[in-house]
Structure 1
Amino acid sequence: MSVYKPVRLAALLLILFVLGSAARAFAAEEDPGPPALSSDSAILIDAKTGTVLLAHNEEKEQFPASITKIVTGIIAIESGRELSSLVTTSKEARNEDGTRIYLEEGEQQTLINLLYGMLMNSGNDAATAIAEFMDGSKAKFADRMNEFVREKAGATHTFFVNPSGLPDPRQVTTAVDMAKIARYAMQNDLFRTIVGTKKLPWNGQAWQTTLVNHNEMLGNYEGTTGVKNGYTGDSGFTLVTSAKRNGMELIGVLLKSPTKALLYKDMTHLLDYGFRNYDLQQVKMTEQAYPFASLETEGFVAEEPLYAVVPKGETPVVTVSPAGEVNVRTSLGDYSAGWLKPVSPNLSAVAQRYPEVETAMKSAASPVHDAIEPSNSKKEAILFVWIGLLVYLGVMAVIRLKRQRVQRRRY
């Protein structure tokens, strides 16, 4: 037997081994798909557009625990009260249960200090002090909270009875509602600054320390910008987190996680999934996306950039309705990216686009030589031409609308 045969066989085995290893490595790098989560409810959205990227039991009512303080914080910030206002701690605030910043009865702190103490260190005493300062009692402040989340954030399955999240069977929310609330709150620069602060010196009457933000995603997950965590025996572990990478900010919400370790593991996997699979893109619209609709509008223009979340590797289909709504279609489904501003009609531009209209306009505007004022018959002729023009433009608008509908059905 030739000595080369064992050599060739060994080489072949080595090549097969290398190829097998490469195939296994490639398979390991493939997208594992949506993460398996331990939390009972979860949602992941894009902060700019509100697009839902992943959801599980997102409408199931759960106990929020201290993520309630997101609402208390944004209400106080947007109330118009001076942040330097002194807030006096009541006996009820001093004796609140759970996590505290150890305010003493009668102690005065500025509103801004209490906001940091509440949102960073989850002080229940600070939350009660803020609520009493705003409305005189926790009950009245809770009424404000419920109205606020409905009107400002569109939260329809959330109900609060206290400002801190302390256990109460009536105090409930959903993952989708908390995502909406957090998305609204994070648009406020001061709120964003507070919930993104990792450490801050605290000089209280009975407690001098350095506040450390209880949201452990800060500093442990790249790009984290906020928001708040919570825990009670009834709620389990809850967490709302925002993170930003490559121009896209995501907001994740987890409710009723069995352990703290699983809570942060779930949030890491949730955010990783979003950043790995989606991009935020500015919507690109061709001239055909700006239809001529009627005499009321020549077309549309974008007053500001419009964005869409697109699965990586996909090209979105963008259409504009006759009313100016920009619709985006991807494998995520169809959704609105916003509205364009209508442009007043320019008959000269219309005439250039439709030659037959230009002919009618010239005929209607031809000079009259035989009289200073046109005769009744000529007035009627001009009126007839304009009526015909209106009818023609209306028919063209209907035809264009039908074409758009046919194109949508093809997709």
Structure 2
Amino acid sequence: MKKLFSFFIIILLIFSSQLNAIAAKNQHLALKSKGAVLLDSETGAVLYAKNADKRLYPASLTKIATAIYAIEKGNLDSIVTVSKNAVEQDGTRVYLIEGEQITLKKLIQGMLINSGNDAAVAIAEHIDGSVERFAANLNRYLKTTVGVNNTNFSNPNGLFAKNHYTTAMDLAIITNYAIKNPVFTEIFGTKVLKWEGKSWKTTLLTHHRMLKGELPYKGITGGKTGFTTEAKQTLATTADNGKLKLTAIVLNSDQKKDKYDDTAILFDYGFKTFHHVTLKQGEIFKMDTKEYYPENDTVITENVNGCIKRLNNGGALSIENNNGQVIQLVSLKYKEPMPKKVPKKIEKPTENKQQLYGANALYGIIFIAAAGVLIGVRKKFTRGY
């Protein structure tokens, strides 16, 4: 069942990834980030895209992929022994020490909340034995399970490597996949966490300023920050206004402020411009003589000013804005035509049957006449007595 669900998710994500060029072409937002994507977290609809398939460096947004892979493959209660290699990582850390033993879940918390590069390597070595093997397995997992094709990660933490890249669209799809997991969602949305390590006892605070509340935006539910000199500023954020749930990715912002401003612009646009509508089970959509229908009630995302529903030859329903921007593709089921009823032939009586019918009729008349005579004679004799 899990494989079937994963296959279904991959098909939907492949459909969604084909929409970004159209979405970017038909709408312009004043974003400073080089790459950006806004998705409906529930339907996967692509609401906005800018340079969505351009290869860019993700920095610590890599840790979103590391986290969901570790959560799905590992045992969260398993004990990880920290290696020298993990301890020697550059950049942001949770100050692990060699030989320290810590649960996998706590390492994932330290990696996502405090962006610990040491924690990320400790996770990789625990899950797959080495960073190199982890990277190979992670890339395979992202292709076959999550359904992205423009991503290659050479490490678990996002420290710069020339062959370590992704796209805004791929990261949006990865994040959207990850937030379906309740453990990931809990950690992704954690603002404050008490941390007690062997060498560091502190309170971890999320680095994401919108999630933390330093840059207030109503409805923020989770987030991850990133920065390297080569990647510049990167940001992943989720939000929920009670009607829509949105996922925003921005990559390659020059200034830290820019990535937050761009994220707010994306959310403002998404919440103001779109809403959910339900395609009813069995609702018929026609193309020429063929009919298609949703097998179940299906939630779609459409522009608040209405949309165009266009059926293609493959039976996919395209949800478009009035200006032609494709928002979502929904697979429908082909309705088999009803077999034509063949009229029953009325059998004409043959000559023999006609003669038989005539004889039977004659015998009937003779029988009725004889019965009448007998009744008359009987009455006559009765009166005589």
Q: TM-score range by the shorter chain?
A: 0.7 to 0.9
2:210 counterpart SS class = coil
Separation of aligned partners in 2, 1:133 and 1:288: 52
Which residue type is aligned with residue 37 of structure 2?
I
- Say whether the 8 Å CA contact 1:231–1:237 is kept in structure 2: yes
- Residues 291 and 221 of structure 1, relative CA distance in 2, 3 Å threshold: same
Unmatched tracts of structure 1, length 5 or more: 1-32, 352-356, 371-411
- Give 1:307's aligned residue: 299
Report how far residue 57 of structure 1 moved: 1.9
The answer for unaligned runs of 5 or more in structure 2 is 1-26, 351-385
Q: How many residues align?
A: 320
The one-letter code matched in structure 1 to 2:48 is L
3-state SS of 1:156 partner: coil
Kindly state the Cα deviation for residue 133 of structure 1 after the two structures are TM-superposed: 0.2
CA distance in 1, matches of 2:78, 2:178: 21
- Check the 8 A contact 2:302/2:320 in 1, yes or no: no
Q: More displaced, 147-156 or 232-241?
A: 147-156
* Counterpart AA for 1:309: T
Task: Give the RMSD, CA atoms, in angstroms.
Answer: 2.8
Greater Rg by CA = 2
- Residue 268 of structure 1 corresponds to 264
The residue aligned with 1:243 is 239
- Counterpart residue type for residue 49 of structure 1: T
Instruction: Give 1:50's aligned amino acid.
Output: G
Aligned to 1:192, the other structure's residue is in SS state: helix
- Which residue of the partner structure matches residue 329 of structure 1? 320
Q: Is residue 228 of structure 1 aligned with residue 212 of structure 2?
A: no
Distance 2:316 2:55 in 1: 33
Give distance in 1, aligned partners of 2:293 and 2:334. Answer: 7
Change (3 A) 1:343 1:284: closer
Among residues 161, 172, 185, which one is paired with 2:154 in the alignment? 161
The match for 1:151 among 137, 144, 147 is 144
Residue of structure 1 equivalent to 2:108: 115
User: Counterpart in 1 of 2:8?
Assistant: none
Match among 319, 323, 344 for residue 363 of structure 1: 344
Distance 1:224 1:120 in 2: 15
The answer to whether the Cα contact below 8 Å between 1:196 and 1:225 also exists between their aligned partners in 2 is: yes
Whole-Å Cα distance in 1 between the matches of residues 189 and 143 of structure 2? 25
How much does 1:172 deviate? Answer: 1.2
Once the two structures are TM-superposed, the CA of residue 112 in structure 1 deviates from its matched residue by 0.7
1:115-150 deviation line (CA, Å, top 9, x unaligned): 111111100011000000011111110101211222
Question: Could you tell me which amino acid in structure 2 is paired with residue 363 of structure 1?
Answer: K
Can you list the C-alpha shifts for 1:75-98, whole angstroms capped at 9, x where unaligned? 00111x221000010001111111
Percent of aligned pairs with the same residue?
A: 39
Of 249, 254, 272, the match for 1:253: 249
Q: Distance in 2 between matches of 1:231 and 1:38?
A: 16
Give CA deviations for 1:220-262 in whole Å, capped at 9, x if unaligned. 3211122311011111110011111232111111111111122
Q: 1:288 to 1:74 in 2, by over 3 A?
A: closer
Structure-2 change in CA distance of 1:215 and 1:291 (3 Å): same
> Any conservation in 1 of the 2:59–2:226 contact (CA below 8 Å)?
yes
In 2: Cα distance, 1:119 partner to 1:289 partner: 45
Aligned mates of 2:270, 2:182 — CA distance in 1: 24
CA deviations on 1:329-355 (whole Å, 9 max, x unpaired) are 33353465433456777xxxx47xxxx
Aligned residue for 2:95, secondary structure, equals coil
Structure with the larger RCO, 1 or 2 (CA within 8 Å, 6+ apart): 2
For residue 62 of structure 1, what is the amino acid of its counterpart? Answer: L
Q: Distance in 2 between matches of 1:244 and 1:129?
A: 33
Superposed displacement of residue 187, structure 1: 1.5
Q: Distance in 2 between matches of 1:258 and 1:322?
A: 44
